[in-house]
């Protein structure tokens, strides 16, 4: 292997509520793990040096693509990885697409790819953590509700093997430990 891309640490990973659902009189949150573009830039700087990588954005068929290029000392050439950005918000669509395409291209280099191995993060919310909006009764989390990664570990294959999600008061809200098969 030419270079080693480090796994994300608990401080590199952000946690977002993806969905709030209601079942049997209880309210549940589904969370997702993600990284932001600053983490990608920091890892690229650390692994390849400040001047050992570059990014380029271009519009192809009306979609914004980002190409991240890294210098290979071994091959004495630039290695390019590219991906497209997606924006669900028209207000900041160009900025969102640029950031999203950059983060996706960085995943193609291996930065944060381990997040795709995360378990389904799903747990019951306390009655003080959500409210119903409007006549449709749409349930949303309160804006003060924040979660973070309290602990993360990886197995030998780079997959998430342990994960603890905590709330802003450091209460454990979700705990995962990958079961290992016993040798016989």
> What is the pTM assigned to this prediction?
0.86
Please report the pLDDT score of residue 150 as a whole number.
98
Output phi, psi for 40, to 5 deg.
Answer: -60, -45
Please report the pLDDT score of residue 156 as a whole number.
95
- Long-range CB pairs of 133-141 (<8 Å, 24+ gap) are 139/20, 139/21, 139/22, 139/27, 140/20, 141/17, 141/20, 141/29
Residue 59 contacts residue 17 (beta carbons within 8 Å): no
Separation CA 168–CA 18 (nearest Å): 17
77-84 and 121-124 beta bridge pairing: unpaired
Separation CA 36–CA 13 (nearest Å): 8
Please report the pLDDT score of residue 134 as a whole number.
59
| Average pLDDT per 10 consecutive residues for the chain, totaling 184 residues | 89 96 91 96 96 94 92 93 78 77 95 97 93 74 92 97 97 94 56
Helix (H, G, I), strand (E, B) or coil at 42: helix
Q: What is 80-124 written as a DSSP string?
A: EEEEE---S-STTHHHHHHHHHHHHHHHHHTTTGGGGG---EEEE
Please report the pLDDT score of residue 180 as a whole number.
75
Spans of all domains in the chain: 1-35+113-184, 37-111
Closest CA to 17 of 91, 123, 161: 123
3-state SS, one letter per residue, for 13-37:
CEEEEEEEEEECCEEEEEEEEECCH
Which two structure tokens, joined as six digits, stand for 6? 């480090």
């Amino acid at each position: 292997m030419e270079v080693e891309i480090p796994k994300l640490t608990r401080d590199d990973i952000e946690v977002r509520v993806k969905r709030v659902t209601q079942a049997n009189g209880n309210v549940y949150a589904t969370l997702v793990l993600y990284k932001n573009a600053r983490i990608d830039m920091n890892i690229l700087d650390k692994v390849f040096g400040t001047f050992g990588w570059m990014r380029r954005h271009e519009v192809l068929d009306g979609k914004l693509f980002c190409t991240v290029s890294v210098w290979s000392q071994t091959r004495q050439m630039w290695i390019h990885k590219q991906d497209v950005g997606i924006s669900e918000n028209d207000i900041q669509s160009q900025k969102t697409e640029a950031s999203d395409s950059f983060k996706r291209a960085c995943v193609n280099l291996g930065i944060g790819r381990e997040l795709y191995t995360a378990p389904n993060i799903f747990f019951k919310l306390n009655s003080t953590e959500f409210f119903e909006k409007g006549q449709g009764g749409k349930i949303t989390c309160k804006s003060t509700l924040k979660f973070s990664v309290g602990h993360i570990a990886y197995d030998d294959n780079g997959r998430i093997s342990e994960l603890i999600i905590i709330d802003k008061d450091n209460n454990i809200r979700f705990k995962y430990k990958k079961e290992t098969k016993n040798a016989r």
